[in-house]
Amino acid sequence: MDLKHELKIRADVVNRIIKEHTPKSNNKYSKGLFEAMEYSLWSGGKRIRPILMKEMFDVLGGDYEENPINYFIPAIEMIHTYSLIHDDLPCIDNDDYRRGKDTCHKKFNEYTALLAGNALLNYAYELVIKGTIVTRNSKGMEAANVLAMSAGCEGMVAGEYAELTIHKDNITEDSLDYVNRNKTGELITASLLIGAILAGTDMDTLRTVYEFGYHIGIIFQLRDDIMDYDKDLNNLEVSHATMFGIEKSSDKINAHKMEALKILEEIDGDNKEFFIELINYFCEIDK
């Protein structure tokens, strides 16, 4: 399998779905807000989370007829985008560039970026509620609950807060694992779990998908830590790689990789080759 080609094909598919649901302003007073939302939503990115969601849905034989999956696909990318907008703000990471482009607050201004993030988060929930109502699919509410919890005060936001408030002198491997599991891992896990829920799978499979997502999320963050090692070291940023070294972080990635591949075998679905290749890709680190 040519993974880069397959990722592009899948990204093109989810981009068409996201484009269909990208909000547009209906009046001159909110035009600037919608421009900031659209700018950030379409400023690049691999669309990993919606791809994971759709792939799990397909692997488990999901039926697109009267199913809100195409509302959840853009919603999870909007929530991810809102988190990046807020991460870049001066009060958090104070970044001027993301993916080679001006961050939202540099392109527009700080209050517009703050509100654009808020608007994307709320519009994501508007989408999944609308999709559930329109399709009359009872699984939609279960999936919406997973989405809200993973992004909220015991999920992604909790991880962000922990990262900002844990004093550098008191950081342990456990505290870093908490940050990684919540800040990054929760939304990755939710992507897979929502795909499984909307495919109508059984509870045992949902538990297995949850465990699979947990390991994928940790791999994803540890890979970023290693890729950003030099930058983080120069900026005195704390990550698993800067605290414990690249070798230990790589060993941890490999341990999670083996667990993820073992769990994937337990998921009864068709054509899981893409997931296998994606896991291997996540674990390939070119420093």
- Per residue in 222-268, pLDDT (tens digit) is 999 999 888 878 877 888 898 889 999 999 999 999 999 999 999 99
Q: H or E stretch including 271? A: none
- Per residue in 30-43, pLDDT (tens digit) is 999 999 999 999 99
Between residues 165 and 141, the one the model is more confident about? 141
Task: Summarize the confidence of residues 87-107 as an average pLDDT.
Answer: 95
Which CB contacts under 8 angstroms, 24+ apart, belong to 163-166? 164/92
Q: H or E stretch including 211? A: helix 203-227
Cα separation, 186 vs 151, whole angstroms:
7
Q: Which of 55, 84, 217 is nearest to 150 (CA)?
A: 217
Report pLDDT for 286: 61
Cα separation, 38 vs 61, whole angstroms:
32
Instruction: Tell me the domain boundaries of the chain.
Output: 3-282
- Give yes or no for a contact between 151 and 79, defined as CB atoms under 8 angstroms apart: yes
Task: Summarize the confidence of residues 197-226 as an average pLDDT.
Answer: 96
Say which CATH superfamily domain 3-282 falls into: Farnesyl Diphosphate Synthase (1.10.600.10)
Report pLDDT for 26: 87
Task: Summarize the confidence of residues 189-194 as an average pLDDT.
Answer: 98
- For the cut 60, the answer to whether the pLDDT of residue 287 exceeds it is no
How does the average pLDDT of the chain come out, rounded? 94
Cα separation, 117 vs 91, whole angstroms:
14
